[in-house]
């Protein structure tokens, strides 16, 4: 576990529990989890609590699967709470892979599990399993000011009256995309998809040259092909080719590091192109989904860019959609800075679930 003391304090950064959870049909306590290929993050929502607490991260290595890791986590919570501990009644697992069947197999790890068997093993009355970007989308309405960083000068989240459609894109290992639509009666419906595999388009001659360079190796240049952890080395190689520089093979982490510290001009230009292309793609997502309530940027790459992101052409490209520029000028864009936001998406899923 990355933070042994996490079990003894509330996770303020995880934000408030979903509005209306006290009236939800599923009884508490609730167990929520955000499970990736390397780590599983867990959180606890006690009866009557407003915030997720006892947040902890357990490595996939050393655990047979999510249910085993959850049992380990619950044993730690039980030791921390002592005599007041009660086993969870329901749980939500956000998983970094496709869902829809009882058998869940992770793309980037050896973990696989049966939803029914996991529910039985943990003694749960209900277990909801959702895609990680579905969970991240569900977290959006409840994100607090401390969990996001809005684009300077862009509209605030409250600019539109009432509830409006939202979208989230996340450059991480891959590129996730999801939408969130208001539902009749006050809930929300997450709309997960595979938008990261949509074709990437050029906004200027430099973009066009980049895509042409990538197309020599890849017949289809998707957004994920360049705007992700696996894509940054591809983008870096293309930038070097277009600039006529040697195409040194670098990992994504090193490209970001050298681009930020200024030790590599090609890496620096790669970050500029990354932000600009991401802005164009985010604008496309806003138009396709009608996300007038805001487009949120998740994933692990952009937060590492710090102020470099907010000094980039992201927002300029986001708005540069011809006759619909004014439409996009009114759409907020916000960076999610809280890496635990998906846990709140699990809470929202449990809160609006009808047994």
Q: How far apart are CA 252 and CA 214, in angstroms?
A: 17
Give the distance from CA 251 to its chain's centroid. 21
Question: Confidence band (pLDDT; 50, 70, 90) for 20?
Answer: very low
For residue 109, what are its two tokens?
A: 């790890």
Question: Confidence band (pLDDT; 50, 70, 90) for 283?
Answer: very high
Query: What is the pLDDT at residue 17?
Result: 52
Query: What is the pLDDT at residue 275?
Result: 98
Query: What is the pLDDT at residue 61?
Result: 86
- CB-CB neighbours of 68 under 10 Å: 18
Mean of pLDDT values over 168-191: 90
Q: Establish how many alpha carbons lie within 13 A of residue 299's alpha carbon, considering only the half-sphere containing its beta carbon.
A: 23
Q: Read off the pLDDT of residues 286-320 as tens digits, 9 standing for 90 and up.
A: 999 999 999 999 998 999 999 999 999 999 999 99
Per the annotation, where are the binding residues? 33-38
Would you give the DSSP letter of residue 169? Answer: E
Q: Read off the pLDDT of residues 149-178 as tens digits, 9 standing for 90 and up.
A: 999 998 877 555 568 999 999 998 889 999
Instruction: Name the percent of the chain lying above pLDDT 70.
Output: 91
Is residue 54 scored above 50 in pLDDT?
yes
Give the CATH number of domain 144-337.
3.40.367.20
242 vs 48, more confident: 242
Q: Read off the pLDDT of residues 58-107 as tens digits, 9 standing for 90 and up.
A: 998 889 999 999 999 999 999 999 999 999 999 999 998 889 899 999 87
Mean of pLDDT values over 187-201: 91
Query: What is the pLDDT at residue 155?
Result: 86
Query: What is the pLDDT at residue 10?
Result: 37
Note the helical H segments in the chain: 66-81, 115-122, 132-139, 205-215, 223-226, 232-243, 252-261, 265-289, 302-305, 307-310, 314-319, 325-329, 341-351
Which residue has tokens 């992700």? 228
Query: What is the pLDDT at residue 240?
Result: 97
Per the annotation, where are the binding residues for ATP? 33-38
Query: What is the pLDDT at residue 309?
Result: 98
Is residue 112 scored above 80 in pLDDT?
yes
Query: What is the pLDDT at residue 184?
Result: 84
Is residue 4 scored above 70 in pLDDT?
no
**34 and 14 in contact (C-beta within 8 Å)?**
no
Domain ranges of the chain: 4-135+340-351, 144-337
109 vs 6, more confident: 109
For residue 125, what are the CA distances in angstroms to 76, 89, 102?
Answer: 21, 6, 16
Which residue has tokens 């579905």? 134
Query: What is the pLDDT at residue 79?
Result: 97
Query: What is the pLDDT at residue 178?
Result: 94
Q: Which helix (H) or strand (E) holds 199?
A: none
Q: Give, in degrees to the nearest 5, the angle at Cα 96 between 164 and 98.
A: 85
Q: Which of 6-10, 75-79, 128-132 has the highest mean pLDDT?
A: 75-79
Fold topology of 4-135+340-351:
Nucleotidyltransferase; domain 5 (3.30.420)
Q: Read off the pLDDT of residues 142-156 as tens digits, 9 standing for 90 and up.
A: 888 899 999 999 887
Query: What is the pLDDT at residue 160?
Result: 52
Is residue 1 scored above 80 in pLDDT?
no
Predicted TM-score of the model (pTM): 0.85
């Amino acid at each position: 576990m990355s933070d042994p003391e996490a079990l003894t304090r509330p996770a303020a950064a995880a934000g408030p529990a979903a509005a209306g959870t006290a009236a939800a049909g599923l009884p508490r306590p609730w167990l929520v989890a955000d499970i990736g290929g390397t780590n599983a993050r867990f959180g606890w929502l006690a009866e009557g609590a407003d915030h997720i607490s006892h947040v902890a991260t357990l490595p996939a290595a050393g655990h047979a699967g999510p249910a085993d890791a959850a049992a380990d986590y619950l044993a730690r919570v039980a030791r921390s709470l002592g005599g007041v501990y009660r086993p969870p009644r329901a749980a939500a697992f956000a998983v970094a892979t496709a869902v829809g069947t009882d058998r869940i197999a992770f793309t980037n790890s050896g973990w696989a599990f049966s939803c029914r068997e996991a529910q039985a093993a943990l003694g749960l009355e209900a277990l909801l399993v959702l895609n990680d970007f579905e969970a991240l989308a569900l977290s959006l309405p409840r994100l607090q000011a401390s969990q996001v960083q809005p684009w300077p000068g862009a509209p605030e989240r409250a600019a539109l009256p009432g509830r409006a459609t939202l979208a989230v894109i996340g450059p991480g290992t891959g590129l996730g995309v999801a939408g969130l639509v208001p539902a009749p009666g006050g809930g929300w419906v997450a709309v997960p998809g595979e938008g990261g595999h949509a074709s990437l388009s050029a906004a200027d001659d430099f973009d066009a040259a980049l895509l042409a360079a990538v197309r020599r190796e890849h017949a289809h240049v998707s957004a994920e092909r360049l705007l992700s952890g696996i894509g940054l080395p591809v983008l870096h190689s293309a930038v070097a080719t277009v600039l006529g520089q040697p195409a040194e093979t670098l990992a994504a982490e090193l490209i970001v590091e050298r681009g930020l510290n200024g030790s590599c001009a090609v890496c620096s230009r790669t970050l500029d192109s990354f932000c600009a292309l991401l802005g164009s793609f985010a604008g496309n997502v806003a138009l396709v989904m009608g996300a007038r309530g805001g487009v949120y940027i998740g994933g692990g790459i952009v937060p590492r860019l710090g102020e470099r992101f907010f000094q980039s052409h992201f927002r300029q490209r986001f708005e540069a959609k011809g006759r619909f520029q004014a439409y996009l000028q009114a759409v907020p864009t916000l960076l999610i800075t809280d890496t635990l936001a998906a846990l709140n998406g699990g809470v929202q899923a449990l809160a609006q679930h009808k047994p």
